[in-house]
Chain A
Amino acid sequence: MRWKAFKKNKRALFGLGVLAVMYALAGFTFINTFADYHWLPDPNDVHTGEKFYLVQKASPLSYATLERLMDYPSLQEAIKKPGRKVPIKNRGEFIKLVTTLRKMGYDDEEPLDIYRKVYYIQHEEIYRVSLISVENQPPSIKHPFGTDDFGRDVLSRLIYASRISLSVGFVAVGIALAIGIFLGAISGYYGGIVDQIIMRIVDIWISIPGLVLLITMVAVFGPGLFKAMVLIGILSWAGTARIVRGQFLSLREQGFVEAARATGARDWKIIFKHLLPNAMAPIIVDATLFLAGAILLEAGLSFLGLGAQPPTASWGNMLTDGQKYLRTAWWIAIYPGLAIFITVLSFNFIGDGLRDALDPRLRGVR
């Protein structure tokens, strides 16, 4: 009967649908990891683009060096315009350049890694020319959402990151609910001095700015995804405690509580067996809305480098990666941003839908 009321809410259904797809995709990544069949590239694979670029990063080369590179107009151009990327026609020319530089005695100072083909050209002064072969590739058929600056597939990273964002909420909510329900129930059921003490703690807890405390705690305990989840949970129980307390305050006056007591039920049994199920509706709504908040908080922490640690992809640290290329490669930051937005919105829609469906006072209003 409540499902019927929920079903009428189109936005809530939309949210449910979107999240179902997201969780399905996140679930399929496990097939990707453990089976031989790969439907998605690994999030940390580097995909070399078809275009190769030269970039002169430090001050210009000496005239002598320039003269020896006369045959390589692209290299010359790169050297003349420091900081600018000069495209090389193809992989063949790229390899030719590398060999020429090697012959000239310009050895790789750093190993020629596949992430960035960087050549250091040393003279009396230090000059540097980078040959870039991987970079932010715009969306294409091979990479529908493009690649980031390390040549990693954004779509793949996005889906792998969803595992973090979609699960972070549950750990955090689980912890927050456990603490919040326990303290709120005791507070509301017993009232009096117990209630006073617990509620003052709640007041103090709520008055502390969350993100600041979170950053401080991460600074103390060190960054890390699981720590972030637990900390978010520990930080957010106060709201739940208030809601549960309010419910219990009115519920404990109900006749069935006295009836339960008259049948010889213990306090803890009355609290958790008789009262808690009656208070479930607002708790579920609160938990759903809090799920969205927790995802947002985790994204914020990861954005600040305090949550999931690279190279593990999370929507927050993908945003960080993308922000420096916002002007030139919008796809790196836009997609994780959109993902966060849609997920949070969906959870909020579901939360609103649940509230309307579970709250008899609002039934039939819309």
Chain B
Amino acid sequence: MLLQVKDLRSHFFTEEGVVKAVDGVSFDLAEGETLGIVGETGCGKTVAALSIMRLLSSPGRIVGGEVLFKGEDLLKKSDDEMRRIRGGEISMVFQDPATSFNPVFNIGDQIAEILQVQMGLGKRKARKKARDMLELVKIPKAGEMLHQYPHELSGGMRQRAMIAMALACKPDLVIADEPTTALDVTIQAQILEILKELIRDFHVSVLLITHNLGVVAEICDRVAVMRRGKIIEQGDVKQVFNKPKSEYTRDLLDVVRALYGGVE
């Protein structure tokens, strides 16, 4: 097992009381496997992802559980060790590619910087690698894009660059937090296609967080359904979608079927 999350609990301590955003979540992720976490808005799926990266900021705090990554508990790592893991062994793709790039640096600088920091590459090597990565995510003029600023790119292009950046350091695990939500439908399809190929080629494990069951059906091996901070059902995608055990999963699938006429 690459990643084992055991009874993870993350709470928010607000003035109005404690919000149990993640309340006893457990799941496993094998190497090369893609796990989808689905659930409605506010069910705690993003908080769970941030907790794994230990990026939860105040007033949120991890109050219990274990996050075993390659057999070691991430929650017990020092800040320095954690920094080396972030971006290096575990990387993230965020929901909104428009705000996830720093607007004052060009794409090349931003991808190259991670390579310099995490892999210790020289400046020229890092830029060349950045270009290679952009070509991998099927950007037509990768060399040109290195010099472009985030605002000069379309949403789809930005998300491709984001994926290139996430995979640049050859991570073992990619956490993709709603990678297609901010994009329109045609672009979504393209991005999913690229993701699918990369997962296969890089043999990388992916934790895909989404509320889109269609996306899960498209690329995930397994799925976990989350509600109110708890995982209420998990299993094989086909099995969960065809024979949902819980009432909630059934309702979710019914909604999608009613709207789109079914999930293959």
Docked pose: A277 CA to B85 CA in angstroms: 26
Residues of A within 8 A of B101 (CB): 256, 259
Q: A264 to B99, Cβ gap below 8 A?
A: no
Q: Is A204 an interface residue (CB 8 A)?
A: no
Q: Is B58 an interface residue (CB 8 A)?
A: yes
Contact of A262 among B84, B86, B104 (CB under 8 A): B86
Count contacts on A: residues with CB < 8 A to the other chain.
17
Q: Which of B88, B102, B105 has the largest count of A CB atoms less than 10 A from its CB?
A: B102
Q: B118 to A264, Cβ gap below 8 A?
A: yes
Q: What distance in Å separates the Cβ of A252 from its nearest Cβ neighbour in chain B?
A: 10
A255-B94, A255-B96, A258-B94 in contact; A263/B114 too (CB < 8 A)? yes
Bits for A209-226, please: 1 = Cβ < 8 Å to B, else 0: 000000000000000000
Docked pose: A266 CA to B83 CA in angstroms: 8
Q: A256 to B117, Cβ gap below 8 A?
A: no
Q: How many A-B residue pairs have CB under 8 A?
A: 57
Q: Is A10 an interface residue (CB 8 A)?
A: no
Q: A256 to B55, Cβ gap below 8 A?
A: no
Docked pose: A345 CA to B114 CA in angstroms: 45
Q: Is A260 an interface residue (CB 8 A)?
A: yes
A255-B94, A258-B94 in contact; A263/B117 too (CB < 8 A)? yes
Q: Is B92 an interface residue (CB 8 A)?
A: yes
Docked pose: A226 CA to B194 CA in angstroms: 62
Q: What distance in Å separates the Cβ of A1 from its nearest Cβ neighbour in chain B?
A: 11
A258-B55, A277-B104, A278-B104 in contact; A263/B99 too (CB < 8 A)? no
Q: Is A85 an interface residue (CB 8 A)?
A: no
Q: What distance in Å separates the Cβ of A266 from its nearest Cβ neighbour in chain B?
A: 7
Docked pose: A278 CA to B94 CA in angstroms: 20
Q: A262 to B55, Cβ gap below 8 A?
A: yes
Q: B86 to A261, Cβ gap below 8 A?
A: yes
Residues of B within 8 A of A277 (CB): 102, 104-105
Q: What distance in Å separates the Cβ of B58 from its nearest Cβ neighbour in chain A?
A: 7
Q: Is B87 an interface residue (CB 8 A)?
A: yes
Question: With A260-B102, A261-B55, A262-B87 given, can you name 5 additional A-B contacts, CB distance below 8 Å?
Answer: A256-B99, A258-B94, A259-B94, A262-B53, A280-B104
What are 21 A-B interface contacts by the 8 Å CB criterion? Answer: A255-B96, A255-B98, A256-B103, A258-B100, A259-B92, A259-B100, A261-B55, A261-B86, A262-B55, A262-B86, A262-B87, A263-B91, A264-B82, A264-B83, A264-B85, A264-B86, A264-B117, A264-B118, A274-B102, A277-B105, A278-B102
